[in-house]
Amino acid sequence: MRTVEEQLATITAAAVTPEPVRVAISEALGLRCAEQVEGTEHFPGFDQAAIDGYAVRCVDIRQALDPTPVDGEPSEGADSSDDQPARRTALPIVGEVTAGSHRPVRLQPRQCVRVHAGAPLPTLADAVLPLDWAETQGRRIIPQELLQPGEFVHRKGSDVQPGDVVVEQGSVIGAAQVGLLAGVGRSKVLVYPRPRMAVMAFGQELIDIDREPSLGKIYDVNSYALTAAGREAGAEVHRLGIVGGEPRRMKDIIEGQLIRSEVVVITGAVGGTASEELREVLAELGELEITRVAMHPGSVMGFGTLGADKVPTFLLPANPSAALVAFEVMVRPLIQLIRGQRQSNRRVVQARTIASIESAPHRRGFIRGQLMRDRDTGDFLVDPLGAADGGEPTHLLGSHGRANCLIVVPVDVAHIAPGSVVDVMFLTNRA
């Protein structure tokens, strides 16, 4: 019997990274960049107003608020008397510039120009006075606050200058990276595509969900559940549904998927005489081994590399809950590795269990649970949904739908008392 780590090492060693492709930046979100993208021009390409306001020279604002006359002469528009010095109190509004304007404007001393957010800054202007920092009197403003050069201005090249690295090779493209690519005029980018994963189910008892099950028949749950799990993990998944029929036909179907996939998952074909025919077909396509792994549920699984490209291929249990746990523990890390994620495993935290847990002896348990936080202390608490005293059996799928985590029970522990601290692995966040 292999340990979980030994089986994972075998699986991850078989990772096949897809060849990079060039895609539109609108389709690049979440993909790993396969090139280093550098800016070729300034972004923004000109000094622009960051907010709606007035384009001004800071020296004019200081003079307007300074009670000392300039050169000993009274300021324009200000009162003058023996006991009160003159001061510049108003600046005339000599124009308006809107976003997208192509008309060059030059600001003269002791003047201002009304500007809109995103508009090019007039020549000689070095700041934008916010609307609520000025008192308006017809076509003149009286500044109320001092400004520093560059305030409320997006300087030319303040985001990106020629030669700056916009997106690093190997980084995952997020919303900000998409925006930067657009900002430097890149419509396409070289990325590693999402791993292509094929999912199929095997079993004489299976029927698709659009049919009425007769005695001895059950719905194909696994191919739908594993397809969803693959997409949530970041793969591009093709669900073939139920695979059966003559061996030659099954071989053709599987071989066709090996040509176009980086990962193949077949569920319901692990053990029993009914699956021997399928395993004989797979043996013609490459090396695949049925293995017992020291984990529960999903301890029996198959893995190998098939086809000319040595595509990682999994055989997972027929039980839906066991198949999902096996996918989470074994298949998902491979998908993350192929995608180039630095962290291939889920986040693990420590939590205090509020109920007892029973786990299969000599196997690492992956017990479904609901993770929550104590309002007073902020500590994590976890409520086991399977393998607890009086709880549901671990093989049932119903509690899996309510779970937001897996409680990880060490291989040498069979019983955990309430109040004990356990490792908990996050599953997909649910609102």
More confident residue, 265 or 164: 265
Residue 422 has pLDDT above 70, yes or no: yes
Report the mean per-residue pLDDT for the chain. 87
At residue 389, the pLDDT reads 44
Give residue 237's pLDDT.
Answer: 96
Which among 10-19, 355-364, 422-431 has the top mean pLDDT? 355-364
Contact, 200 vs 242, CB < 8 A?
A: yes
DSSP designation for 199: E
Question: Residue 390: pLDDT above 50?
Answer: no
To the question of pTM greater than 0.85 for the whole model, the response is no
Return the pLDDT at 378.
87
CA distance 323 to 312: 17
Structure tokens at 415: 């019983």
pLDDT tens digit sequence for 247-257: 888 899 999 99
With a cut of 70, say whether residue 343 has pLDDT above it: no
The pLDDT of residue 18: 81
Q: How sure is the predictor about 211, in pLDDT bands with cuts at 50, 70 and 90?
A: confident
Which domains, and CATH codes, for the chain?
4-18+194-339 (3.40.980.10), 21-43+158-192 (3.90.105.10), 48-69+87-154 (2.170.190.11), 348-426 (2.40.340.10)
What is the pLDDT, as a whole number, of residue 200?
94
Rounded Cα gap, residues 131 and 121, in angstroms? 16
Strands 48-49 and 37-38, bridge-based pairing:
unpaired
Whether the pLDDT of residue 68 is over 70: the answer is: no
Q: Quick check: 198 pLDDT over 60?
A: yes
Average pLDDT over residues 391-420: 79
